[in-house]
Structure 1
Amino acid sequence: MMRSMFSGVTGLRNHQIKMDVIGNNIANVNTVGFKKSRVIFQDTLSQTMRGASSPQGNRAGTNPMQVGLGMTIASIDTIHSPTSAESTGNMTDMAIEGDGYFILKGDGIDQYYTRAGNFGFDEHGNLNSNGLMVLGWQDKENYMVPNDKSPQSIDTIQIRKGMMIPAEATTEVKFDKNLNAETPVGESYSLPFKVYDSLGCAHNLSIVLTKTAANEWEYRITHADGTETDLGGNTGTISFDGSGSGKYDSATGGPLTLNLSNGAANISLTIDFSNVTQYAKETNIDMTYQNGYAAGTLTGITTDTSGVITGIFDNGHSRQLAQVAIANFDNPAGLIKAGRNTYRYSNNSGEPQIGESGTGGRGTIAPGYLEMSNVDLSEEFTQMIITQRGFQANSRIITASDEMLQELVNIKR
């Protein structure tokens, strides 16, 4: 009789724990990246009243007689099932489509792992989540994605608001499109273009192209005002295929040099006419490429599916500034919940397998999205009813056992 009471107590205790887990699931129905838990019950030891016996002669075998001593919790599992993501439009928000976890760094050397990608930048430009800094790959001296993307080289990501990229001097200029083959000899066309020095100062130049023969043009490069002071290698010729195909053949002259007095390094650049043609169509020659630019200030960022954060600068250029790392585990269910939507690895989760998203079984990143909770309210409410009824049934066991004990006590009266 006392056994039934103790069994009821185990039922009450463990159904209460299951209700606690259900309550936590429901409380986190709108928590970003939350993974629900489930409780699995199992019975405890049984008291053997009679052992089993084997058949002997004309006597049949008998099964064991055992009385159970209640139940206990077999496991409380974290269910890492995939769920949908919601769009936020914020480029620092990220969701993982597939397996994997973002890597965060706390105080000291501890690493945490999360599915919640609600990231932002702090005052010093650190990409962080709730005070924990996001880890990835970044060359902080040059603000670019490094070639070394080994697991050992991951570090915090820092992108300061208003950061600048240095100017780059022009070293190559390319011209494209057409020079009219019907242009009379001696007629000229001019085209303005711009190059940059090592300080980012723009220098306005002009190229004058004069037809000197059927398949030959002469070019002369000057400053925008027509002067040639401080210019070198600024004249040459462009020749086209003599067979009449109108295709570029060769060019002479260059490299163009600018001897500067503004403190910048002198400019030396090559001029490429290989894509210029000479057909009987209007002249529309244009400069299609030059690789110099002024210094630029960061105005925005974008993120791609591989976790590369690209900075957009006001000089019209962009640069890959950093890349977010992803960790995967052989047994995600073995991770330990550490609060703040984070996990820590355990002996049963396996070591983190760190790498780029989209590689090694790791999922891809969806920028501008956040992963929703995988809690299903209909399932949780169903489990709540089942758990409540289980709790009530176990309380009835205790009540009924108490009444039976009361009857025993009353026998001596």
Structure 2
Amino acid sequence: MLNRSMASAVSGLKAYQTWLDVIGNNIANLATPGFKASRVRFEDVMSHTLRGASVPDPAQGRGGRNPAQVGLGVLAAGIDTDYAPGTPTATGKMSHMAIQGEGYFVVADGFRTYYTRDGSFDLGIDGRLVNPSTGLYVMGWQADANGAIDTSQPLSPIRIPIGEEMDAMPSMSIVIPGNLNAAAATGTTYTTDVTVIDSLGFRHSVSLTFEKTGTNTWSWTYSSSEAGVTLTNATGTVEFDDQGNVLNVTSAGDLTIQWGNGAADTVIPGGGDFTRLTQLAAGSDAVGVADGWTAGALTSFAISVDGVVTGIYSNGATKALGQIALATFANPGGLLKEGQNLLSPSPNSGQAVIGTPVTGGRGQIAAGYLEMSNVDLAEEFTNMILAERGFQANSRVVTTSDEVLQDLVNLKR
């Protein structure tokens, strides 16, 4: 009997010590990015039955009896992880990322793959996104030379080659959006400048002049004041309907520009896309926008909420460089903590389901932020008091049981 009380109290000491261990670890990781607090789940140990239950016996005029049992202590049955999201904190560093919602970053070293909520990433010496504490690469899908991303391909480290050169891209089309004033008198002209890139990467300014030639009809003409430049098929007309929308566009043919500096001729089909123009009773503000860019170098990057890494070049051009991957699990509570903010699957977590952010229940990426620990300090201090008092009370039971045993031994005297 006395051994039962002492054994129960000892089990309580062990259980509350485990609780204190978990509380101490939670508080120690208060400032750990992406850390998820743990909590202990208690359950009673099997009970010793002193008397079984019985059913009512009407013949004897006796009702049923409840069982009489003595518990044999407590057990720390499990340590669960609270996967509630932590608060995103701004760091201003674009390579830092926080996940707003479900999901885990995929990181690997070529041998093993891990998962983490800690987005404390940086650019390594090889231009790859890496966790500088572990050396693990951030995994995703790399874009091809044209900026296309194929997420059906195997994962690979995300590379952001700062300083990499981009070749010049000559202009191949011109789009002309905006408005031409419907209240303008016949003979009114309006001119806008278009910046065109030749095959050598040089910028040229070409003028586009509109002249109102009649009701709902304007002519357009390209010209250049640059020496040595020759334009062919540089004229045409644009007609509008009674709602101010483009009705018909004519041109002398494809606009051809000979630069005279050794660059290849620039050919603009039909002289450009005039279908985005309007003719309304408002000021003329039509502009000509040519594609293409000069040579440049990758100077910085941005990461969108859906995990697309976009390179920003010194020539003003942008291009997709890659796509961050996120993983989800059927049972995140079954993940194994490997240290260094890393997690790995277990038989009870299920295998990783990998995809892009904002799809399949995965959260979105907040670049320039880190997810902080979800430890609630007030709750931990409260639990610490409860654990301390529980440990103290169980130690008193051990002391009392010992004194009773001492009294029992003294009976012999």
What TM-score results when the alignment is normalised by the length of structure 2? Answer: 0.84
Q: After superposing the two structures, state which structure 1 stretch, 304-313 or 47-56, moved more.
A: 47-56
Which amino acid in the other structure matches residue 392 of structure 2?
Q
CA contact under 8 A between 2:186 and 2:214: conserved in structure 1?
no
Partner residue, 1:293: 293
Partner residue, 1:33: 34
Which amino acid in the other structure matches residue 121 of structure 2?
F
Which amino acid in the other structure matches residue 401 of structure 1?
S
Partner residue, 1:111: 113
**1:290 Cα shift?**
0.6
Partner residue, 1:374: 374
**1:88 Cα shift?**
2.0
Q: 2:91 aligns with which of 72, 78, 88?
A: 88
1:309-388 to 2 correspondences below 5 Å: 309-388=309-388
1:39-188 to 2 correspondences below 5 Å: 39-56=40-57, 57-58=59-60, 59-108=62-111, 110-129=112-131, 130=133, 131-139=135-143, 141-142=144-145, 144-146=147-149, 148-150=150-152, 153-175=154-176, 178=180, 182-183=186-187
Partner SS for 1:38: strand
Query: How high is the sequence identity, in percent, across the aligned residues?
Result: 43
Alignment partners' CA distance in 1, 2:85 and 2:240: 62
Alignment partners' CA distance in 1, 2:206 and 2:362: 51
**1:206 Cα shift?**
5.5
Alignment partners' CA distance in 2, 1:246 and 1:386: 75
Partner SS for 2:362: coil
CA contact under 8 A between 1:248 and 1:277: conserved in structure 2?
no
Q: Which runs of 5+ in 2 are unaligned?
A: none
| Structure 1 residues 397 and 210: alpha-carbon distance in aligned structure 2, compared to 1, 3 A threshold | closer
CA contact under 8 A between 1:5 and 1:398: conserved in structure 2?
yes
Alignment partners' CA distance in 1, 2:282 and 2:44: 90
Partner residue, 2:396: 396
CA contact under 8 A between 1:311 and 1:319: conserved in structure 2?
yes
Partner SS for 1:396: helix
Which whole-Å deviations, capped at 9, do the CAs of 1:33-55 have from their partners, x for residues lacking one? 11100001111122233333334
**1:353 Cα shift?**
2.2
Alignment partners' CA distance in 1, 2:95 and 2:174: 36
CA contact under 8 A between 2:240 and 2:279: conserved in structure 1?
no
**1:21 Cα shift?**
0.2
Alignment partners' CA distance in 1, 2:379 and 2:282: 72
CA contact under 8 A between 2:35 and 2:374: conserved in structure 1?
yes
**1:202 Cα shift?**
3.1
CA contact under 8 A between 2:241 and 2:247: conserved in structure 1?
no
Alignment partners' CA distance in 1, 2:322 and 2:337: 28
Alignment partners' CA distance in 2, 1:61 and 1:242: 95
Alignment partners' CA distance in 1, 2:203 and 2:279: 30
Which amino acid in the other structure matches residue 90 of structure 1?
K
1:182-201 to 2 correspondences below 5 Å: 182-183=186-187, 193-201=194-202
Which amino acid in the other structure matches residue 348 of structure 2?
N
CA contact under 8 A between 1:143 and 1:322: conserved in structure 2?
no
Which whole-Å deviations, capped at 9, do the CAs of 1:71-119 have from their partners, x for residues lacking one? 21111000112332222222222222222222222341x2222222222
| Structure 1 residues 252 and 61: alpha-carbon distance in aligned structure 2, compared to 1, 3 A threshold | closer
Alignment partners' CA distance in 2, 1:10 and 1:239: 90
**1:207 Cα shift?**
6.1
| Structure 1 residues 258 and 83: alpha-carbon distance in aligned structure 2, compared to 1, 3 A threshold | same
Which amino acid in the other structure matches residue 170 of structure 1?
S
CA contact under 8 A between 1:192 and 1:224: conserved in structure 2?
no
Which whole-Å deviations, capped at 9, do the CAs of 1:129-153 have from their partners, x for residues lacking one? 23221122222x417351x324x63
| Structure 1 residues 195 and 218: alpha-carbon distance in aligned structure 2, compared to 1, 3 A threshold | closer
Partner residue, 1:23: 24
Which amino acid in the other structure matches residue 251 of structure 1?
T
CA contact under 8 A between 2:199 and 2:263: conserved in structure 1?
yes
CA contact under 8 A between 1:174 and 1:272: conserved in structure 2?
yes
Which amino acid in the other structure matches residue 399 of structure 1?
T
Provide the alpha-carbon RMSD of the alignment: 3.4
CA contact under 8 A between 1:296 and 1:315: conserved in structure 2?
yes
1:221-240 to 2 correspondences below 5 Å: 221-222=223-224, 224-225=226-227, 227-228=228-229, 231=230, 233-238=232-237
CA contact under 8 A between 2:105 and 2:325: conserved in structure 1?
yes
Alignment partners' CA distance in 2, 1:356 and 1:220: 46
Which amino acid in the other structure matches residue 135 of structure 1?
M
Which whole-Å deviations, capped at 9, do the CAs of 1:159-194 have from their partners, x for residues lacking one? 01212333212111244655975439xxx9987644
**1:61 Cα shift?**
3.7
Which amino acid in the other structure matches residue 79 of structure 1?
D
Q: Which runs of 5+ in 1 are unaligned?
A: none
**1:248 Cα shift?**
7.3
CA contact under 8 A between 1:137 and 1:154: conserved in structure 2?
yes
What TM-score results when the alignment is normalised by the length of structure 1? Answer: 0.84
